[in-house]
Amino acid sequence: MTSPHATLIDRLNAKEAVIGIVGLGYVGLPLMLRYNDIGFRVLGIDIDPEKVNHLNGGKSYIEHIPSEKVARATQSGFEATSDFSRVVEADAIILCVPTPLNKYREPDMSFVINTTDALKPYLREGQMVSLESTTYPGTTEEELLPRVQEGGLVVGENIFLVYSPEREDPGNPDFETRTIPKVVGGQTPACREVGIALYSHAIDQVVPVSSTKAAEMTKLLENIHRAVNIGLVNEMKIVADRMGIDIFEVVDAAATKPFGFTPYYPGPGLGGHCIPIDPFYLTWKAREYGLHTRFIELSGEVNRAMPEYVVGKLMDGLNEHGKALKNSRVLVLGITYKKNVDDMRESPSVEIMELIEAKGAEVAYSDPHVPVFPKMREHHFELASVELTAESLASFDAVVLATDHDRFDFELIQQHAKLIIDSRGTYRAPAAHIIKA
C-alpha cells in the first residue's frame, strides 16, 4: 500500500492535486493565477464575501492584476468561497493571511491562529499545509503543528507541514511569481519533500532549507537587511543635508562601485506589509531568549522618525516664504507605500497627512492609483484625489512629493507648484522652490 507521503507527491507531480489557497490578497491572488495557469484546479478561500464575489465574477480588486487574468482563471476551473469546510477538497492548503503588529508593536498572530483553527475540523489524511505569512522563527512548530495534530493526524506521516515565505514585489515589472526563487522548509524531511513537489511546478527555482525555523528566519533576514540599510541611508540623508550635500548624488556615485555596495535610497519612511513590520517579529521573539536586538530597533527608530522630518522640512520651506504651516493648504503627492501600486498598508504618506492636519493645515492628496481615500482601520480622511492641473497645483501653498508614481507629470508639478518638498530625490537639479527632504 502506498504511503500518504508518496501518494501526495504523485498527485502533485501528475497535477491531479487540488490546491487550496486561503487569503486571496497581494500574495494569494498571484499564486492562484500561477497554479491555475499550469493546469492545477485551485480553490480560493477568503473570509471577505466581497472579494469572493468579485473573483467569482471574474474581476480583480488589485490594480496591477488585470481582471482578464482572473476571468480566465474562473473559466478554467478556479472558484472562490468563504466556506472553510470545503478545505477537505484540497490536497495542498497554502495560507497567505496577514501578520500585522498590534498597537504595542508586538506580533498579531490572530489571523494565522484563527485561520488554522477554522481549517482544523476539515483536515484529513494525505493533505499538506504550507504557511507563507511572514512571522517569527518557531511559529510553524509552536502554533500550527499542535493544531494540525489535534484531531489525531501525525505531521510527517499522514499530513505534512511546510513553511515557505512569500516573496512578492507588487508593481515590479522585472519579477513575477514564477521567477522569484522559493525557500521551502519542512517540519520533517518528508514534509520538505512534499513542499518541494508542490512549489517546483509553479516556481523556476526552489531553495530547500533544513527546517521551518530556518525558512522563517530567512524571510526576516531579507526584510531586516532592507530595513537596516534604509535606516542607515535615512540617517546619512540628515547628516548630508546639514552639510549641504545631496545624498542622492552620493548614493548614485557610490553605486558605481562594482563590488561590496548595494544602493539604497532614502525616503519619507517605510511602508508596506513587510519592511516596517517584520523586523519587530524578531525583536519580540529574541526577548524570549534574553536577547536585545539593538541594531534592528535603532534602524526602526530612524525610519519611524522620517515622516516628522519631512513635515519639519515643509515647515522650514513655508517659513522661508513668510507662511506658517497652520492655515496653509498642502497637497500630498502619492499616498501608497511605494510607486506604481495601489497598496496603502503602513504608508508613511498617510502619517505625513495626519501630521500636517494636526498642525492646523488643510491637507489634500493626489494619487492616480487611489481615486478615493479608502476606509482604513487607523486612518480617517474624507477625501478624493485632486486632479493635477496648472490651476490646482498653483492653488496650494506647498506640495509634498511622498510617492513618486510614474504617472505624475513632474514637469507640470515643477512649473506650477509654489513650493515642492521632495522626499524621493525626483528633482535632482537645484531650484529655489524645491526642498529636498
Do the domains at 4-210 and 220-302 have one common CATH topology? no
The β-bridge relationship of strands 159-163 and 182-186 is antiparallel
Looking at residue 31, what is its pLDDT? Answer: 95
- The DSSP H or E segment spanning 114 is helix 110-119
CA–CA dist 316, 313 (Å, integer) = 5
Give the architecture-level CATH label for domain 4-210. 3-Layer(aba) Sandwich (3.40)
Q: Is the pTM of this model over 0.85?
A: yes
Architecture in CATH of 220-302 = Orthogonal Bundle (1.10)
Mention every residue, 6+ apart, whose C-beta is less than 8 A from residue 227.
270, 275, 276, 278, 279, 296, 299, 300, 303
Cα separation of the two ends of the chain? 67
The series of mean pLDDT values per 10 residues for the chain, 437 residues long, is 91 97 94 96 96 95 92 96 97 95 85 96 97 96 97 96 91 85 98 98 97 97 94 97 96 97 94 78 92 92 96 97 96 96 92 97 97 85 96 98 97 98 95 95
In 3D space, the residue among 201, 181, 185 whose CA is nearest the CA of residue 193 turns out to be 185
Q: Collapse the DSSP code of 388 into the 3-class scheme (helix H, G, I; strand E, B; otherwise coil) and give the result.
A: coil
What is the fold, at CATH topology level, of the domain defined by 305-436? Rossmann fold (3.40.50)
DSSP state letter for 140: I
Strand 329-333 with 79-81, pairing: unpaired
- The C-alpha atoms of residue 115 and residue 47 are separated, in whole angstroms, by 9
Where do the domains of the chain lie?
Answer: 4-210, 220-302, 305-436
* Tens digits of residue pLDDT in 183-224: 999 999 999 999 999 999 999 999 999 999 999 999 999 999
Residue 182 CA to residue 165 CA, distance in Å, equals 8
> Is 191 annotated as catalytic?
no
Q: Name residue, grid cell 515643477.
A: 414
> Alpha-carbon distance 299 to 17, whole Å?
44
Q: Which amino acid, residue 261?
A: F
Which of 115, 142, 157, 121 has its CA nearest to residue 23?
Answer: 115
The pLDDT value recorded for residue 420 is: 98
- Compute the distance between CA of residue 172 and CA of residue 170 in angstroms, rounded to an integer: 6
How far apart, in whole angstroms, are the C-alpha atoms of residue 132 and residue 29? 13
H or E element at residue 72: helix 67-75
* Each residue's pLDDT tens digit, 390-405: 999 999 999 999 999 9
Under DSSP, the state recorded for 206 is E
Q: What is the pLDDT of residues 222-247, one digit of tens each?
A: 999 999 999 999 999 999 999 999 99
pLDDT of residue 380: 84
Q: Which of 275, 260, 313, 286 is nearest to 424 (CA)?
A: 313
| C-alpha dist (Å) from residue 428 to 86, 320, 346 | 55, 21, 27
Report how far residue 110's alpha carbon sits from residue 102's, in angstroms, rounded to the nearest whole number.
Answer: 10
SS3 of 276, please?
coil
Residues in a beta bridge with 186? 162
Which candidate in 32, 42, 274, 311 is catalytic?
Answer: 274
